[in-house]
Copies of this chain bind each other. A is one copy, B any other.
C-alpha cells in the first residue's frame, strides 16, 4: 500500500500560529511533532517511508521537506502544486504518477492536519480497507459522530457489503447539515462523518475520474508528463510552465463531489479510532490535556482563577485573571483573544485582517526560506533589524541590493561571506559591512546552525530589492 498525504491547507483557522505562508499542518498543535510529522509517524507501521507521497502548495514545499527530513522522506515524492485546486486534481495526479510505475498500486489518502488517537486501531482499519480496495472498491472511512456537528459532510451507512464484515454500502453522501438535521443524524446512529481518509487502487480512482470528472481526467497524463525535479537543492516535483497552465485551468473540485457522491463502488468502514480534524482553537478541548480547572495552558503563562480557557503563549509573559471559556493565543507579532463559542469565526477574522491590509493575516513573523529563516526584530525610519538563521550547509543566493547596505554580526555558529572578489570566514562576535550594489553571499559551511543579526540601512527597505546572480534553490 502506498500513502498519499494531502498537505495543501491554507492556515487561517489556527491564526495567529498558522498563517497562509505557514499553515496548520506545519505547526505543532498537539504534540509531539508538527501535524504533518505526526501524520507520517502514524502511517509508518503500515507504509514505509519510500512508499509515502505528499502533495502541497509550492510555497510550503521546502519547509515540508525540511520537516520530513529526519524520516528519510524522498524529496521527489513531494508534488508542489502551482495553485490550490482542491482534492480531485491532487488525487488524480498522484494516481496517474503511481499507475505508470506500479499498475496495481493501492493508495491511501490522508489529510495532513488531523489528529488520530489509537493508532493501532487506525492501522487495522486501513488493513481491512486495503483488502476491499484490492477488490475494486473505493473505501471511505466514516467517523461515528459524537455531537450534532454542522461543519462536516455525513455519509449514510447502507447494508453490509457481502463477504466483508464491518464494511457497508453507502446509501448516500450528504452535505453539511443544518443544526436540526445534524441532531437527527446523531440520534439516527447510521450517519458517519466524512473524514477525508480513502483507500483505493490507483486504477480504480482513475477509472471513476474518467467516468465522473472527464475534464480533469483527460488532462492527467499530460500534466503528469510536465512534472520535473525542481532546480537546485531540495529536488521536489514541480510542473513546467505548460503543466502549471494546464493545472491551474482545471476546476477546483473535492474528490467527494467529483467522484464519491456519484460512484457505485463506494464502501464505508466505520472507524474504530479516535479522530479530530482540529478545525478551530476550541477543538483543543477534545485533544489536549487540561488542568484541574479545565484549562489548556502552554508557554510563559501565569493564570489565576481561569476556567475552561485555552491560553497558548510563547516566550512573552501572559498573565490572565478570571477568564472563562476564553481563548488567548499569542505570537511574536500578533495576538488573538476570543471567546470559545466564536472560535470557528477566526477564519472570518483573518479575512478581515487581509481585507484591511494587515500583513499579519498571511505572513508569519518568522519567514521560512529554503536556506533557513529570518525574523524582523525592530525597525526605524531608515533601518531594519533582522535575526537571520542559516541551516547547516545552506547558503543564501549570490545577490546585491540597489537601495540598502547591510551590516552583519555573527551571534552563533560560523559564516562564510563572499563580498565581490573576497571571501571572509566569520565567527561569533565578527562583523562585516555590505555596501549597496555589492555582490555578496552568506553561507553556513558548518554542521551547526548559523545565526546572524542583520541591520539594513536605506530609504527603501524591501524584500523585492534583490538581484540574484546564483542560487542553489532555482530562484534566479
Contact = CB atoms under 8 A, between A and B. Distances in A.
Interface in A387-440: 387, 405, 407, 409, 411-412, 428-429, 431, 433
Contacts of A457: 411, 428-429
Interface string A334-348: 111111011001101
A150 B352 CA distance: 43
Nearest to A342: B322
A334 B335 CA distance: 12
Interface stretch (A67-75, A166-174, A323-331): A323-331
Contacts of A382: 411-412, 428
What copy number does this chain have within its complex?
Answer: 2
Nearest to A360: B317
Interface string A308-324: 00000000111111111
A411 B455 contact: yes
Contact of A378 (B16, B339, B377): B377
The A interface, classified by DSSP as helix, strand, loop or mixed, is: strand
B302 A316 contact: no
A380 interface: yes
A65 to B, nearest CB: 26
Nearest to A340: B322
A165 interface: no
Interface in A423-474: 428-429, 431, 433, 451, 453, 455, 457
Contact of A337 (B16, B320, B342, B429): B320
Interface string A5-25: 000000000011000000000
Nearest to A305: B342
A96 B277 CA distance: 73
Given A321-B342, A339-B323, A412 B380 contact: yes
A453 B451 contact: no
A322 B336 CA distance: 11
Nearest to A458: B429
A316 B316 CA distance: 13
B334 A322 contact: no
A328 B311 CA distance: 13
B302 A317 contact: no
A408 to B, nearest CB: 10
A387 to B, nearest CB: 6
B16 A319 contact: yes
A335 B335 contact: yes
A410 to B, nearest CB: 9
Contacts of A305: 342
Contact of A338 (B15, B323, B330, B353): B323
A381 interface: yes
Given A304-B345, A328-B337, 20 more contacts: A15-B319, A16-B319, A304-B349, A304-B352, A316-B335, A317-B353, A317-B358, A320-B336, A320-B338, A321-B337, A321-B346, A322-B338, A326-B337, A337-B337, A380-B412, A383-B412, A407-B409, A429-B433, A453-B453, A453-B455
Interface of A: 15-16, 302, 304-305, 316-324, 326, 328, 330, 333-339, 341-342, 345-346, 348-349, 352-353, 356, 358, 360, 377-378, 380-383, 385, 387, 405, 407, 409, 411-412, 428-429, 431, 433, 451, 453, 455, 457
7 closest Cβ pairs, A-B complex: A322-B342, A321-B338, A322-B339, A317-B334, A383-B411, A317-B360, A320-B337
30 contacts: A302-B353, A302-B356, A302-B358, A304-B345, A316-B335, A317-B335, A317-B353, A317-B360, A319-B334, A319-B335, A319-B337, A320-B336, A321-B338, A321-B339, A321-B346, A322-B345, A323-B339, A328-B337, A377-B378, A381-B412, A382-B428, A383-B412, A385-B385, A385-B453, A407-B429, A411-B457, A429-B433, A429-B457, A431-B431, A431-B433
